[in-house]
Structure 1
Amino acid sequence: MASSWPIAGAPQEAALGSRRVLLAWELGVGYGHSTKLARVGARLRAAGHEVVAACSRPYFSAPLVEAGIPVIAAPETTPPDYRTIPASATLTDSLAQAGLLDPRAMQRSLAGWRAILDRVRPDLVVLDYAPMATLAARNRALRIQTGVGFCLPPQELTAFPLLHTLMPPLARDEDMLAAVNRALAAEGSDGIDRVGALFEGNDAFVTTFPLLDPYADLRQRPADGPLMTEPMRERRADAAGIFAYLNGDGLARPGVLAALCVLGPMLEIYPPGATPACLAALRAAGARVYGEPQRLSVVLARTRLVLHQGNAGIAADALAAGVPQYVLCQHVEHYLNGEAIAAAGVARSRPLFDPRYVPDPTDILAFAEDQDAAHVALAAGRIHRALLEQRPPLEHLVARCLALLSA
């Protein structure tokens, strides 16, 4: 889906008064990263600036291409089959799985990002879960970090905290710091003095609600809020259905499809990546199956319960709409989101990653009828919609980017 940047060699001179912006996305998968960067990039282009994106996963770049933003394929930090640290208790574990214990892999990534920076010569780099791009851009451009809480820890941290107790941490901060500094030294660059510097910038904008931020207690200022496509509407009093947003991997887990089929005609579902057999079974059970994303502001207004895998985006959407949530967590970020909203009384969180767990449709149906959860969710929705209205996150993020560009 990526398009080549049409400028060969050195960039042409920008129009008078305009500046050049690089959107850089490195780690993580899914359209959430590219969609948010596309929305920011489109606003910066509308303000008269030149914008180009660099993504290490160009197969998720469609939102950027559709926004008219040229896309460059960026280097992948993660070597093929590099999964030697099968743990997730800290962000250090997750970064280790992405290759940040391998100096040679990081050297290749740093060299690739520097080549992109030489070509683009940006005035500002907007970074989304991009630690190697962050290091490569030091002293070369202004940097603003963006991303959900899980992907954007405070840059002041000297160690990444424990996120859960499901398993012990395996990777050590000091080992990662040493590996990163070996890679930087091999490139002729100064080292860093703390792991938080992997997410260092001139500014940082956390694109989620504080409730969904695992580092909320460690930040100097609270998370700024999610970049929603459109404002959420309050759940209607007569809302009765169940809406599910589960990908093909989730539907393939034991018992998931059978549980959803029990919900029958109550169920509306958008299942990206589902097999034809899964789709046929859902339709045979009476569920309404969508083949493309739905306008969540419309769907959630008529929904009694939203069932999803714990993505920060839909968790924030449902929170703002005042809809109770049933979360089938697939991995640690999902688990952290599910546990946070469950602790707030607006969700039930279930460990789909646990091979012993089998979804119980009676539990789903019982939570859909839980009046206490419904009342708490409505109140939480009003609070979170008010936060968004007081300071719209997208406008605020763009304003902070423009302030850096005008500095």
Structure 2
Amino acid sequence: MSRILFAWELGGNLGHMTRQLPIARRLRQQGHQVFFVVRDTAVAAQLLTPEGFAYAQAPVNVDKKRLPHPVNYAEILIASGYADPAVLLGLVQGWISLIRLFKADLIVVDHAPTALVAARLTALPAITIGTGFEIPPNCLPLPSIRPWETIPTERLLRAEEYVLERLNALATFLKGGTIERITDLFQGARKVLATFAELDHYGTREGENYVGPLYTGTTGQLITWHQIDKPHVFAYLRPDAPGFENLLKALSKLSAEVIVVAPGIKPAHIQAFATLNLRILTQPVQTEQLFKMTDCAVTTGGTGTVSQCLLAGIPLLLVPQNVEQFLMSLRVEVLGAGTAARNNRQEQDFAGLLEALLKKSCYRLSARAFAQQYAGYAPAETTDNVIQLIDSTLTNRDAVSSQ
């Protein structure tokens, strides 16, 4: 059996872990040894510790200097430490050390570009799993992630050249091969676009194999709706979401039964807003059965939650906290299956958006059309496809090693 390392470096919240978990469970059942390297050990403690998976902290850039508004994938890398050769060397060497300490036979990468660099330098087979945002299109220049702004092409090109210069200088120093494009990192790995084409943050790409989202709706606390005669509204939010308190006020005044899952919420907010009609929970809940009777959902725009809702035919109010989530909001709006809260996030703004989603049939019909288009989709089948890809990669590795 093989030793398989799961890597997560960038991004936050639960989505990366919930995408990796179904794969890791299956690999462990097959007898493989699995180890996680994670960006957020608090998330790992919540999701991995109960399942008995071992994990360690990923190498991260501790420099507080940040590029305020990255405009493409290259600038995301610059903002993550690639601007400083010493920081980049430390990050890559950290990943190389983890790979060697674990004696990994294969690495499964989820939004961990520096782990991909390390895999390339150590000739370790890699599989990269992600949504559209985490695996940028193979084009020059890398496209803007702020389509509502006019970004000069020169800036996009300059950012990639800047990153390439540092990556190739590092590769030369560590006696590894150089690359011509940032996307060569992804071309060198076996790629899994774990989303639907309609929900690709960059828009649908021709010739790509969209396998569908990876998630589990059966992890967490089992809860049910209590009131059959009222509309049901489900919300998965972070307390630092813009307008969070105003949104709670709007939800509390709906003529509906509301369940809010808000990890990290202050006890004072629970005391202020929880009622018989509005339950506030701090831990993940099982959504598979719950979504069968949900009329509207509120979320920040994570791919997993959005996909689950649309597959259940549930229209969405999106409250994005970052560029990635805002791009997802735009995809949902193009589908006609929801709407995004933008600059105006007062109580009355949220109330109007919620009422529209519950009363206007156009949103519900569009969400149901999406659900019908993908009727029969099962995340377990996507997991099967990824497992087969891992098996074939390991088989090829063993064949090469034996020659």
TM-score (norm 1): 0.85
Q: Deviations over 1:160-184 (max 9, x none)?
A: 1123334455662111221222333
CA RMSD of aligned residues (A): 2.4
Q: Deviations over 1:220-271 (max 9, x none)?
A: 323211113149xxxxx98722111111112654733332232265322111
In structure 2, C-alpha distance between the alignment counterparts of 1:144 and 1:71, rounded to whole Å: 19
Q: Is the 8 A contact 1:157 1:194 kept in 2?
A: no
Query: Given the alignment of the two structures, is residue 136 of structure 1 paired with residue 127 of structure 2, yes or no?
Result: no
Q: Is the 8 A contact 1:134 1:200 kept in 2?
A: no
In structure 2, C-alpha distance between the alignment counterparts of 1:230 and 1:293, rounded to whole Å: 10
Consecutive unaligned residues of structure 2, counting only runs of 5 or more, are: 219-227, 397-403
What is the Cα deviation at residue 397 of structure 1? 0.9
Name 2:145's counterpart in structure 1: 163
Consecutive unaligned residues of structure 1, counting only runs of 5 or more, are: 1-17, 232-236
What is the Cα deviation at residue 333 of structure 1? 0.9
Name 1:396's counterpart in structure 2: 385
Counterparts of 1:310-349 in structure 2 under 5 Å?
A: 310-349=301-340
What is the Cα deviation at residue 113 of structure 1? 1.0
Q: Is the 8 A contact 1:114 1:137 kept in 2?
A: yes
1:222 to 205, 209, 219: 209
In structure 2, C-alpha distance between the alignment counterparts of 1:284 and 1:376, rounded to whole Å: 32
In structure 1, C-alpha distance between the alignment counterparts of 2:298 and 2:53, rounded to whole Å: 33
Q: Deviations over 1:188-209 (max 9, x none)?
A: 3332210112434441112222
Name 2:280's counterpart in structure 1: 289
TM-score (norm 2): 0.86
Q: Deviations over 1:317-341 (max 9, x none)?
A: 0010001111111111111111101
Q: Is the 8 A contact 1:321 1:378 kept in 2?
A: yes
Name 2:33's counterpart in structure 1: 50
Q: Is the 8 A contact 2:15 2:302 kept in 1?
A: no
Q: Is the 8 A contact 2:230 2:257 kept in 1?
A: no
Q: Is the 8 A contact 2:341 2:350 kept in 1?
A: no
Q: Is the 8 A contact 1:212 1:337 kept in 2?
A: yes
Q: Is the 8 A contact 1:226 1:316 kept in 2?
A: yes
In structure 1, C-alpha distance between the alignment counterparts of 2:248 and 2:298, rounded to whole Å: 13
Counterparts of 1:234-383 in structure 2 under 5 Å?
A: 240-250=231-241, 253=244, 255-263=246-254, 265-284=256-275, 286-351=277-342, 354=343, 356-358=344-346, 359-383=349-373
Q: State the secondary structure of the residue aligned to 1:188.
A: coil
Q: State the secondary structure of the residue aligned to 1:111.
A: helix
Name 1:37's counterpart in structure 2: 20
Q: State the secondary structure of the residue aligned to 1:151.
A: coil
Name 1:98's counterpart in structure 2: 80
Change (3 A) 1:131 1:219: farther
Q: Is the 8 A contact 2:5 2:35 kept in 1?
A: yes
Q: Deviations over 1:347-385 (max 9, x none)?
A: 11222xx3x543330231122111122122112112223
What is the Cα deviation at residue 42 of structure 1? 1.7
